[in-house]
Structure formats: C-alpha cells, structure tokens
Amino acid sequence: MPSYSKKELMSQYVFTDVQQIRELERLQTIEQIFDPATRSRLQATGIEANWCCLEVGAGAGSIVQWLAATVGEQGKVVALDLDTQFVDRLQLPNVEVIQADIRHAPLQKHSFDLIHARYVLIHIADFQVALARMLDLLKPGGWIVIEEPDFSAARAIVGEACQSVDRVNQSILKMFTNRGMDYALGIHLPALFQNLGLQPLTVENEVPLSNGGSGVATVMKMSAIQLAQKYIETGEATAEDIEQYCLFADDPNTWAIYYATVGVIAQKSIAL
Ligand SMILES: C[S@@+](CC[C@H](N)C(=O)[O-])C[C@H]1O[C@@H](n2cnc3c(N)ncnc32)[C@H](O)[C@@H]1O
C-alpha cells in the first residue's frame, strides 16, 4: 500500500482549506435538502436492527445518526472521514469514528452489511480504488448505496445573469477536470456498477429545477463563496461572475439546474 502524509491526503479534497464554521453550515444545508431521498434509498436495502454499516465521508453526521438509530444497540455504525471534527461530537454508543482515507481504511474485509457514501467519490481522482475498497469491506450479500453529483447537467435558465452563471458552471467543470476528477461522475455510476458485477441495480437521477433562494441554489452559493478563488483560477469565471452567481442564487425569480444527483443501490453477490 503506498504511504501518504495526512497533508497529501487532505490536499486532494477541494474543501480542505475553507473556513470551518461556514463548512459546517454548508454540510448541514446539504443534509437538510438531501437526507430525505438518502434515507429512502437506505431503507430500500431492507436495513435492519443489528446491521453493521459504514458511512464513508460522514461530513456533519446526520446520516450517521439516522443509521445509528435504525440499527439500534445491537448494530454498529462506522463513521469514516478524512476530517472527523464534526462527527467526533456525536458521541453515540454504537458509533465508531475513524479518521482515514477510504482508499486505505484500516478496516476488515467483509465486515459491513451496508456501505453508503454521498458526494464523496467525486472528490477522489482514483475513485475506482475507493469503490474497490468499499466492495472489499462489504459482506457477500451486503448492500452499497452511492449518491454522486453530475455537474454536466448544470445550466442557467431564467435570469439576467444567466451568462455569468454559466461561466461559473464552466469553472466548476474545469476545476474538477484540472484535479483529474470526473465532474459528471454520477451519470457514470450505473455502468461502473454493472461492470463490477453488482446486481440488482436501482438507478435514480434527480435533476432539480430550482429557483433562487431554494435549498440547492443556497448550497451552490455557499460552495461558490468557499471556492471562489479556485473557480477564478480556472480562467473560466471572474470575481464579478461569482458575485452575479451569488445574487442569482438568492433571487426567487431566477431558475436554474445547479446539478443532478444520481443514486445507485446494489447488492454484492454472495459469490463476490
Ligand atoms: C461534500 S462532503 C459530503 C458529506 C456527507 N457525505 C453529506 O453528503 O452530507 C464530502 C465529505 O467526504 C470527505 N472525504 C473526501 N475525500 C475523502 C476520502 N478520500 N476518504 C474519506 N472521506 C473523504 C470530506 O472530508 C467530506 O466530509
């Protein structure tokens, strides 16, 4: 296994050097918007009391809390993240927090009934390594639920600043590409799962058409504030475009698709 310093591992994740109070607020906003759909995908696996679950990239921890309540005292949840500062606060008896990179997670093969990750693989250039590690950790017959964005779906639809918004959208695509990451990872997940022999496969593609001030617009505004410098460095958008993007994302009379989320649910074969 190659050895990486913590600094090297953290430097891949685009939100590493952002303001932590704002980051907590951004993660909690993601949870408010996307947790209901995530919970129904997790419930579709038939999750039961006493299951052992792994939450990869646990973020601010709401899904860890939900899993812990669902599997109960006889079950267990491992919350794994590069940065565990937010989940460390949970202090739940059936939750173990592990600070690690999923690609090199110090966990035992075949130990989980369910593994979930939302908006994590998109931040890993060699996401295939992370996915292979997750499958290795999953018990034969265990379930995997992955939800990833597709930023290629982004487009401004109504509003005076549509051109600025689309330039910012281009800067997001370039930022991921420059880092060797797939900005449309979500739409590639189904074929990837199929090639790994994961069946049966449930695929959902959510493409919210949002007006300014709504949840998705707000989360993308928060990301733009945190990542403004990185967007500008791509050469695709200016500081003025980012300012216009933020005003657009606040204005209830504007409409846009900010990104899509693809959710896949699959079961590992007994034979794998
Ligand atoms: C966009 S946040 C999503 C958080 C949470 N999954 C959610 O949807 O609310 C991505 C999370 O993945 C973590 N992360 C990024 N790369 C990782 C890696 N290689 N291994 C483990 N965690 C990682 C980040 O530290 C961050 O907490």
Q: Is 257 helix (H, G, I), strand (E, B) or coil?
A: strand
**Considering only CA atoms, which residue is closest to atom 12 of ligand 1?**
57
Task: Report yes or no on 220 lying in a domain.
Answer: yes
| pLDDT tens-digit series, residues 170-209 | 999 999 999 999 999 999 999 999 999 998 799 999 999 9
CA 120 to centroid of ligand 1, rounded, Å: 5
| pLDDT tens-digit series, residues 124-151 | 999 999 999 999 999 999 999 999 999 9
Domain that holds residue 27: 6-267
Task: Report yes or no on 1 lying in a domain.
Answer: no
| pLDDT tens-digit series, residues 63-95 | 999 999 999 999 999 999 999 999 999 999 999
pLDDT, average across residues 119-126 = 97
Q: Which pLDDT belongs to residue 2?
A: 44
CA distance 40 to 138: 20
Q: Say if residue 214 is exposed, middle or buried (CB neighbours under 10 Å; 0-12, 13-18, 19+).
A: middle
Atom of ligand 1 nearest to the CA of 16: 25
> Which token pair is 196?
């790994």
Q: Quick check: pTM over 0.75?
A: yes
Q: Which pLDDT belongs to residue 143?
A: 97
Banded model confidence at residue 270, pLDDT cuts 50, 70, 90: confident
CA 93 to centroid of ligand 1, rounded, Å: 22
Task: Report yes or no on 245 lying in a domain.
Answer: yes
Task: Report yes or no on 272 lying in a domain.
Answer: no
Q: How many domains does the chain have?
A: 1
Q: Is 206 helix (H, G, I), strand (E, B) or coil?
A: strand
What kind and span of H or E run contains 52? Answer: strand 52-56
Please report, for the domain that includes residue 233, its CATH number: 3.40.50.150
CB count within 10 Å of CB 171 equals: 25
| pLDDT tens-digit series, residues 211-257 | 999 999 999 999 999 999 999 999 999 999 999 999 999 999 999 99
What kind and span of H or E run contains 54? Answer: strand 52-56
pLDDT, average across residues 42-58 = 97
Task: Report yes or no on 66 lying in a domain.
Answer: yes
Q: What is the CB < 6 Å shell around ligand 1? A: 13, 27, 30-31, 56-57, 59, 80-83, 101-103, 118-120, 123-124
CA distance 119 to 54: 15
Higher pLDDT, 5 or 186: 186
Atom of ligand 1 nearest to the CA of 38: 8
**Number of residues in the chain:** 272
Banded model confidence at residue 20, pLDDT cuts 50, 70, 90: confident
